[in-house]
Structure 1
Amino acid sequence: MAAAPRPRRSVLYMPGSNARALEKGRSLPADGLILDLEDAVAPDAKDSARGQIVSALAEGGYGKREIQIRTNGLNTPWGYADIVAASKTSADAILLPKVESADTVRQVANIMEAEGAHAGMTIWCMMETPLAMLNAKEIAGAHPRLGGFVMGTSDLAKDLNCAHTPDRLPMVTSLGLCLLAARAYGLAILDGVHLDLSDDAGFAASCKQGRAFGFDGKTLIHPKTIAAANEAFAPAEAEIEWARKIIAAHEEASAAGKGVVVVDGKLIENLHVVSAKKLVAMADLIAEMDAA
C-alpha cells in the first residue's frame, strides 16, 4: 500500500502513559503524532498506556493529523496485545520497532487482518539497526499494507558505534539505503529525531539536510520544535511560484507541439513538470492542513 500523499513535515512522539500529552496532541500544529507504547513507557505502565491510547482515539478530536501507534515488539510480553488493540482503533498506522526482516511485517499484517484492522490502516517500520539497513529492500516490499519507514537514528548510532556529528556523515550510508528502498516501493520516509533541545541551530540544520536528502518530514520529541520542522519541510513561496510558472509554460509548449521549453534560461522537460506538480499538490495539502 503506497503511502498516500499528505503533509508529514512534523511527526511528534507522545508517550501513551501521559494522559495530558494525549489530550494536548489534539491542539498541536503537528502533521502527525506517534502515540508511543515502546521506549517512552515504563514496563509497569505498558498495559494502562495501551488502554489510554485506545480510549483517546475512541474519543477522537485529532482532526487531520496522521496517527500512528508505536507498539512494543512481538518478542516482548506486550507486543501481541499492543497490535491486537491497535488494530481495533481508528489509527492510520501501526509503527513497529526494530524491524529487521520482511517476516516481521507479514506476521503483524496477519494479526491485523485477523483482528479486523480497517482497510486504510498501514504498517510503518522503525529502521534502527544495522541488519535493518542491510534488509531495507526486502522490508520495503514485504506486504501491501506497508506505508513507510521511520529512521531510528539514536539506536542506529549506538549499534554502529558511531558519533552524532552535525553532518551525520557516519550515518549517510544507512540513511541512503532506507531512502532508496522507500522510494523504490512508493513508501513515505521520516527522518530521525534531533536529541539536543537546546540546539536550535543544529535542529534547523538537521531539518534542512533531511529535506535535501529527500525525507518527507522529521520525527520530533518536543512540541517546541514543530514550527521549525513545518517551515523546513514545506515548499517556500518562491518554489511554489516557480513550479506554477514552469507548469504553465510547459502546458503552453505542449499545446504547440513542443516537448521542451526554456523558462528564464532554464530548459524545462516533462520530468521537471512532474516534480513541480507534486510540489504544488503538496503545498495545497499543507495549506488545507494548516487551515484546519
Structure 2
Amino acid sequence: MDLQTRPFRSVLYIPGSKDRALDKARSLPVDAIIFDLEDAVSPGEKPAARETLAEALASGGYGNRTRIVRINGLDTEWGEADARAAEAMDCDVLLLPKVESPEQLDALAKLTTKPLWAMMETPRGMLNAAAIGAHPQLCGMVMGTNDLAKELSTRFRADRLPMITSLSLCLLAAKATGCVIVDGVYNAFKDEGGLKAECDQGRDMGFDGKTLIHPAQVDIANAAFAPSEAEIDTAKRQIAAFEDAEAAGQGVAVVDGKIVENLHVVTARSILAKADAIAEMAR
C-alpha cells in the first residue's frame, strides 16, 4: 500500500525519547504512529532522542503501520539536525510543526527526499491552507487543535463550533489536492463517549482519521473511521444494481428507494477499497 491507499483511522503520538513507549507501539493496532521529537521531548533530551528513535526504527517491528517522524520547526536550534537525522531513518514521512506557508515546506524539502506532512495549528496556517496543500512534496495534513485553540482564544465546546471554519478550510485544501488529513487529538483520554462523538463528527466531516494521545483511544477511532458493515453491504448492492442497470441500457439504478448514479458507485467502490485496506492492515 502507498500513502494514498493506506488507512489512517488511528494515528498515535509516541515520544521519540522513550524506549518503553517505542517498544509498546509495535504491538498496538494503530494505522500510523507519529514518533515525536517536538513537544513530547524536553530540550535537554532532543539530541539523544534522535539516536533513540533511529535505533528503534532500525530495529523494525512496526509492521505496515505508517511511520511518521515529527521534527522540531526549522526555526529552532534542533529542526535542521532533526530533518537530517530523519532523512536517514527507516520512516515513511516527515511531519513539520506549525506550517504557515509553502515556503516552510520548501526549506524542509531541501533537507529530505521523503514525503512531507504539515501540522496545521495556527491562524496563518488556516488562511494559507490551500497553498500549503498544493506543495508538490506534501501528502498529508494533521490538525493541531490544541495549539489552534490557544491561538484563537476559543473555549472548549463539545460541538467544536469555534473550530469548524479552521477544520473546514484544511479539509477543503486536503481534498482539493489529494492529501491525507487527520483530525486533532481529544485530550480527555478516559472520556470514551466524548471521544466517540468527536470521532463521529470528524468522520462525518470527511477526515481520514484521528490523532491520539493514549492507546486506550485506539479502538474507538478505528471503529469510527472504518466503513460499517451496513455501509459495506449498501456499497456492494449499489455497485451490483448499477451494473445491472447499465447492462439493461439504463444510466441509473434504485437501491433502498434511492437513486444510484455513477457518482454513488465511485463512492461505493471507495468504501470497499478502504475496507480491503483495513483488512490487509490486520493481517
Q: Does the alignment reach a TM-score above 0.5? A: yes
1:141 corresponds in structure 2 to 134
| CA–CA distance in structure 2, aligned partners of residues 212 and 48 of structure 1 | 41
**Does 2:206 align with 1:211?**
no
Deviation at 1:7, TM superposition (A): 1.0
Secondary structure of the residue that 1:58 maps to in structure 2?
Answer: helix
Residue 253 of structure 1 deviates from its aligned partner by 1.3
Provide the secondary structure at the position in 1 that maps to 2:27.
coil
Q: CA RMSD in A?
A: 1.0
Matches of 2:108 and 2:15, distance apart in 1: 22
Counterpart position of 1:49: 49
Q: How does 1:246-257 map to 2 (within 5 A)?
A: 246-257=238-249
Matched residue SS, 2:202: helix
The alpha carbon displacement at 1:3 in A equals: 4.7
CA distance in 2, matches of 1:123, 1:147: 6
Q: How many residues align?
A: 282
Ranges in structure 2 where 5+ consecutive residues have no aligned partner: none
Scaled by the length of structure 2, what TM-score is found? 0.98
Worse-superposed segment, 101-110 or 255-264:
255-264
* The one of 171, 185, 192 aligned to 2:184: 192
Q: Does 2:144 match 1:155?
A: no
Q: Paired residue for 1:167, among 153, 156, 159?
A: 159
Equivalent in 125, 129, 135 of residue 122 of structure 2:
129
Deviations 1:183-227 (A, max 9, x none): 000001000000012211111100010100100000000001101
Counterparts of 2:108 and 2:219, CA distance in 1: 34
CA distance in 2, matches of 1:168, 1:155: 14
C-alpha distance in structure 2 between counterparts of 1:57 and 1:241, whole Å: 39
Is the aligned partner of 1:274 residue 2:266? Answer: yes
Residue 256 of structure 1 and its aligned partner are, at CA, apart by 2.0
Partner of 1:6: 6
Task: Say which SS state the counterpart of residue 69 (structure 1) adopts.
Answer: strand
Alignment partners' CA distance in 2, 1:237 and 1:142: 36
TM-fit CA distance, 1:94: 0.3
Q: Is the 8 A contact 1:3 1:186 kept in 2?
A: no
Farther off after superposition, 29-38 or 196-205: 196-205
Secondary structure of 1:218's aligned partner: strand
Distance (whole Å) between structure 1 residues aligned to residue 175 and residue 263 of structure 2: 16
> 2: distance between equivalents of 1:168 and 1:193?
12
CA distance in 2: counterparts of 1:157 and 1:264, whole angstroms: 42
Runs of 4+ that moved beyond 6 A:
none
* Residue 225 (str. 1) matches residue 217 (str. 2): yes
Distance in 2, Cα, partners of 1:4 & 1:190: 13
- Normalising by structure 1, what TM-score? 0.95
Instruction: Report the 3-state secondary structure (helix = DSSP H, G, I; strand = E; otherwise coil) of the residue aligned with 1:125.
Output: strand
Classify the secondary structure of the residue corresponding to 1:25.
helix
* Contact residue 9 and residue 234 of structure 1 kept, 8 A: yes
Structure 2: distance between partners of 1:233 and 1:27: 20
Percent identity, aligned pairs only, is 56
Distance 2:193 2:184 in 1: 16
1:100: how far off?
0.4
